[in-house]
A and B are shown apart, each in its own frame.
Chain A
Amino acid sequence: MDLNDTPEQAGYRTKVRAWLQEHAAEAAETHGDDEAAVVSGRRVWQDKLAQAGLAGVTWPVEYGGQGLGPIEQVIVNQELARAGLPGILDVIGVGMLGPTIIAHGSDEQKTRYLGPMLHADEVWCQLFSEPAAGSDLAAVQARATRQEDGSWRLSGQKVWTTNAHFAAHGLLLARTDADVPKHKGLTMFIVPMDADGVTIRGLRQISGEAEFNEVFFDDVALDPDAVCGPLGGGWGTAMTTLMFERLTIGLGSEFLGYRPDRFARAIALDDHARRDPEVRRRLGELSTELLAVKFTGYRTLSALAQGQIPGPESGLAKVTTVRAAIRAGDLIADVLGPDALEDEADWAYMISFLPGLKSAGGTEEILRNTIGERVLGLPPEPRLDKGIPFSELRAKERAPASS
């Protein structure tokens, strides 16, 4: 058991650190009043990182990546955090959607899309969740209907779509066959976000900011080659994306900034609070959880480096992070008083962001179900949707409510 860098890893770290030091001045601003300017600045910075080999670290060399392991990716993340520099803009594309295309896409799709994605010439968004399909993702209703010429027509609505308003493409899960059970009738598509019939609307959250979007598709025409992965095999393709999502979150958790040292600094400034036993107890409890998550992350990483794929239990780290960060926000606001809730304050933003984060990537409840069943081997909840064609499901769902 060894937590320290091997000599090779230490060498890689030195190289990364040196490059970041040399180019720190070129880094983009991550915040600003002019969002378009911030986005274009961050695209330029992602391009620089990609040219230096610091984006797509784990991508195969043939697609412009470095062909390195997850540990090297984490070393890059750690060094960026250490230098206080932003990472790539398109974490969703490079971290999750690119690897999905690498795994399931056609050669033409890989050639066409991966390079521009890596260099942020084209930003991507993930079009999975819908108003009535979140934790139960296989319930998506967006419909893609094949036309006689082999092209497709897409209608429906997606939601919680990060970056949609400046994305060039989206990876979209749609129902292509409603007459089979719900997991079987799905197909993944690559959708151009500037197509006719695509409407993007910002979705304001508690903070007042709109980091997500609702995206509406009204009879959008898609080429025959828009299908990514097997027809009717969209669920498997989506699982690949979600596996990479867990990985990206697991490897990048420190980026969220929910670190105990940061919370302690805010409290240490208040001379009375830092001596208050109740404040100290609360800080000690939540910090213990956040420190644990940090080392759980290393355990996940170590398993990855040994060639194992992290299971759903790594989702527990997300549950812990959100819980502890919520308690941190409460504590800091209790210490600072209403000032902490000033809309422009960092703490107000964090406090506003966390209730939604609790459900991001699947609600805490569904996560606990999955872990109870897959990790502890507990029997599943009885399900009413198994083996039933999707088209018959909705009628069945309504029946118990009215009876």
Chain B
Amino acid sequence: MNLELTDEQTFLREAARDAFSRTKTIAAARDALEDRAALPDLWPTAREAGWTGLLVGEKHGGAGLGVFDAALVMMEAGRVLAGVPLLGHLPASALADLAGAGEIVGELAEGERRGCFIPARPPGDVAAGWTVEPRSGSARVAAPTVDDAGCLFGSAAWVPDAPGADGFVVAATRADGTPAAVATAGSGEGIGVEDVMRYDATRSLGHVTFDGAGGAVLDGIGADELARAWYLQQVLLAAESLGAVDTALAVSVQYAKERFTFGRAIGSYQAVKHSLVEVLRLRENAYSLLVYAGWAYEDGRDEFALAASAARVAAGHALDDASRTMISVHGGIGATWEHDAPLFFRRAQLSRRLLGGIGDATDRVAGELLNAA
């Protein structure tokens, strides 16, 4: 057993930190709330760094790295609130790689084409079929369908990184209810993508509608693979959240050392100190579960749904708490537009509600355990 980062992982992390540092991503997160043109396009950064092929095997031109490696990059993105469209791309490329989908996978690995996964929640104890996010409310909507000719019908709301994607890998169901992965273009006949921004301008989201769009069903992708892709995306979102937690905690701790009241640094007061230690506690829990998920993806497949869901829950709670603590430790200024804390708060508020939300992930933790009992 050795859970220290390998030299390669340390290098990957440092290189990602360095690559993101070249853009003022946090300032852009604020500016983009008023003018979305202020948001930098980080896809070229991702291509140059080789992250686009992180989860694609070397046979198809990728780096053939693991889920934990991808999580390290997502953590670095989260640390500086960088809106890099890997959350949609990485699961799409991993599915294409698994299907051995010739040309597409090579282009996805190279980053010539930006892919986007349109996920569907695997059936669970709450809903029997494959479902996607509704536009509003808590009801679950059936996943898009694919007919015998490979044409897609239906819609999915709040899909990360959908606007501007070159191609989609869609989790759809056939007439008999079995799931399939269908590759389509990112736009064109029968495909509608409505660009939506909510609360966190760094997060690209789209409502996607299919009305007979033609696609290609990927070989060898069934329920297990699509479920794994769903959980993979949960892990990536968890990692991104954890990165944001690290910054929120570091900034808050620094301020608690520098700000004095009643003749003492505020970090010396137990009330402040204990709330920061609580963030650290939640952070450590979430990191441990990312380690679990990284291991389970490769070596403990039966546990991947459990591990990924738990990581999602823990990271979601950690970011909730970290962003609120960041505001409260800073006092009034923490709640002003000028401060970075509201940007981390916006990230927390939106993230916890995407991709099924942490409520769904919590239920899946329970479901996995109850069904194994």
Q: A residues bordering B, Cβ < 8 Å?
A: 1-6, 9, 71, 260-261, 263-265, 267-268, 274-275, 277, 279-281, 283-285, 287-289, 291-296, 298-299, 301-303, 305-306, 313, 316-317, 319-320, 365, 368-369, 371-373, 375-382
Contacts and interface: CB of A to CB of B under 8 A. Distances in A.
Contact of A291 (B268, B272, B306, B367): B306
B274 to A, nearest CB: 5
A-B pairs, 3 with minimum CB distance:
A292-B285, A284-B362, A264-B369
16 contacts: A1-B291, A260-B369, A263-B369, A264-B372, A284-B313, A284-B366, A287-B369, A288-B313, A296-B285, A302-B4, A305-B2, A316-B280, A319-B281, A372-B277, A376-B273, A382-B268
Contact of A305 (B1, B273, B291, B362): B1
Contacts, number: 181
A383 B3 CA distance: 38
A378 B253 contact: yes
Contacts of A299: 3, 288, 291
B276 interface: yes
Contacts of A371: 277, 280
Q: Which of B4, B265, B363 has the most CB of A within 10 A?
A: B4
B9 interface: yes
B257 interface: yes
A398 B294 CA distance: 55
Contacts of A303: 3-4
Contacts of A378: 253, 256-257, 265, 267-268, 272-273, 276
Contact of B366 (A287, A298, A381): A287
B273 A283 contact: no
Contact of B1 (A289, A302, A376): A302
B268 to A, nearest CB: 4
Given A2-B3, A372-B274, 17 more contacts: A3-B295, A4-B295, A264-B369, A267-B373, A274-B370, A280-B362, A287-B365, A291-B306, A292-B314, A298-B3, A316-B281, A369-B270, A372-B273, A376-B273, A378-B273, A378-B276, A382-B268
B287 to A, nearest CB: 8
B292 to A, nearest CB: 5
Interface residues of B, number: 54
Q: Which of A5, A268, A365, A376 has the most CB of B within 10 A?
A: A376
Interface of B: 1-6, 9, 68, 125-126, 253, 256-257, 264-265, 267-268, 270, 272-274, 276-278, 280-281, 284-286, 288-289, 291-292, 294-295, 299, 306-307, 309-310, 313-314, 359, 361-367, 369-370, 372-373
Contact of A264 (B3, B270, B370): B370
Nearest to B278: A368
Prevailing SS type, chain B contact patch? helix
Contact of A1 (B68, B278, B359, B370): B68
B291 A368 contact: no
A302 B273 contact: no
Given A292-B288, A295-B291, A4 B299 contact: yes
A379 B366 CA distance: 40
Q: Which of A288, A372, A379 has the most CB of B within 10 A?
A: A288
Nearest to A376: B253
B2 A2 contact: yes
A376 B280 contact: yes
Contacts of A265: 373
A369 B273 contact: yes
A275 B273 CA distance: 39
B264 A368 contact: no
A280 B4 CA distance: 34
Contacts of B359: 281
B289 A3 contact: no
Contacts of A2: 1-3
A280 B363 contact: yes
Contacts of A295: 288-289, 291-292
A271 B329 CA distance: 45
B277 A306 contact: no
A242 B370 CA distance: 38
B285 A377 contact: no
Contacts of A373: 273
Contact of B363 (A3, A6, A264, A281): A281
Q: Which of A279, A285, A378 has the most CB of B within 10 A?
A: A378
